[in-house]
Amino acid sequence: MFTNPNIILVNCDDLGYGDIGCYGSELHSTPALDRMAAEGTRFTDFYMAAPVCSPSRAAMMTGCYPQRIGLETGCEILVLRPGEPIGLSSDEVTVAAILKDAGYATKIIGKWHCGDQPEFLPTRHGFDSWYGLPYSNDMGISQRHREFPPLPLMRDEEVVQQQPDQAALTERYMGEAIRFIRDNRDERFFLYFAHMYVHVPLYSPQRFLDQSRNGKYGAAVEHIDRCMAALFHELQDLGIDDNTLVIFTSDNGGAPQHGGSNAPLRGAKGSTWEGGMRVPCIMRWPGVIPPAAGCREVTTAMDFLPTFTRLARTASPSDRIIDGHDITPLILGQRGAASLHEPLFYYREHELQAVRSGDWKLHLLSGELYNLRQDIGETTDVSTSHPNVMGDLRERAEACREDLGDSATGAPGKNRRPCGRVGNPKPLTTYDACHPYIVAMYD
């Protein structure tokens, strides 16, 4: 039985459904990712649990809808900002904590964004070590956001640099990743590599800017692809490629105004149209996942926790509701394997806005119904010709409201858990006019 693989989870920031070659991009060159899809499985109906980063990442770590764990929004905007009093509760169990207890070495490189107070940091949630940013790379002092404190680069729970040069940061991340993989080549490891790309501001090395056909955005996408090539090369050199499951995805839909594409989907980051929450997902595990496979079943990032738990031969928490499902049969391409997400719910903050069951998606506010298999772009409302489908989806939405709540109807939700909260929160950094910042203010 194939069990206990190394697991590398690569999560991009704001990468759109149509931004890489194997999902249809003709603007970005992504040979490593295209090869990954040819050697593994490309998921066409893979979703994040929210259309923005903080809730989607919290859901991915816990296997739960953000509304379940009280992290559907930040205090002031849709995501957490520096120095906020809320974050991922210490009572929640993360996929990293489960794998650590199963004997895995665990590391996060890159963006966390589930709270920046000590109680909320990844080192308090199952990760042995961390090197990266506590939140989005635009949350440092910049021309646009002079109110932010200096952007902190963290090692574990210590700020090691403020306002780092972002054009060099991804290569620093790669060095950290290679070192971690080499140090743990003879053990089992879980590496969560959370890119700062392609969130704005966009900074890439000159090499990628010179070759890009889509400005700074294209340079960032192609830098991501180069990182994947380097990871695969390292795994092959170390002889552990066949025992490593590599997953590539994005935390929410892309932002077309910055150069991204969600084609052929409608909508973008922040919305509950498909373009806000359906994202690329590729999985590769040589000798285990069949090559050149595709999966059209509904799957989500919440499924990682129960799936990784099974692969590590351990157990998911039994004292709480977990919304994700074990998708091992779908990953392996087993005949007859089907999605267990019946249905899937689309929330924006506290509001339930859509529900999907099979091929049908109902937008609750407008009453529009779409058949996503026939109309992936959500262009033609067919609600008047399918009253039975409408009735079924409305019943499912009502059950969800009772479970998770809905601000549109005032339903409180009976199975919600509180987020973490602290008194007297403090930002990780404060501006010092005498500090020799390498980048005094981002553009």
Q: How many residues does the chain have?
A: 443
Among candidate residues 12, 28, 64, 113, the one labeled active-site is 113
Decide: helix, strand or coil at residue 393.
helix
What is the pairing mode between strands 368-371 and 360-363? antiparallel
Cα distance from N-terminal residue to C-terminal residue, the chain: 52
The verdict on whether 400 is a catalytic residue reads no
**Closest to 249 measured CA to CA, from 438, 439, 53:** 53
What is the pairing mode between strands 41-43 and 293-295? parallel
What H or E segment, with its residue span, contains residue 246?
strand 244-250
What H or E segment, with its residue span, contains residue 168?
helix 166-183
**Closest to 110 measured CA to CA, from 29, 172, 178, 59:** 172
Among candidate residues 53, 64, 114, 400, the one labeled active-site is 53
The verdict on whether 53 is a catalytic residue reads yes
166-183 and 215-238 helices, crossing angle to 10°: 10
Q: State how far the alpha carbon of 402 is from the alpha carbons of 25, 35, 386, 410, in Å.
A: 41, 44, 25, 10
Residue 430, classified by CB atoms within 10 Å of its CB into exposed (0-12), middle (13-18) or buried (19+), is: exposed
Q: What is the DSSP track for 88-155?
A: S-TTS--HHHHHHHTT-EEEEEE---S--SGGGSGGGTT-SEEEE-SS-TTSSSBSS-TTSPPPEEEE
Measured CA to CA, the distance from residue 137 to residue 153 in angstroms comes to 10
Residues designated as active site? 53, 113
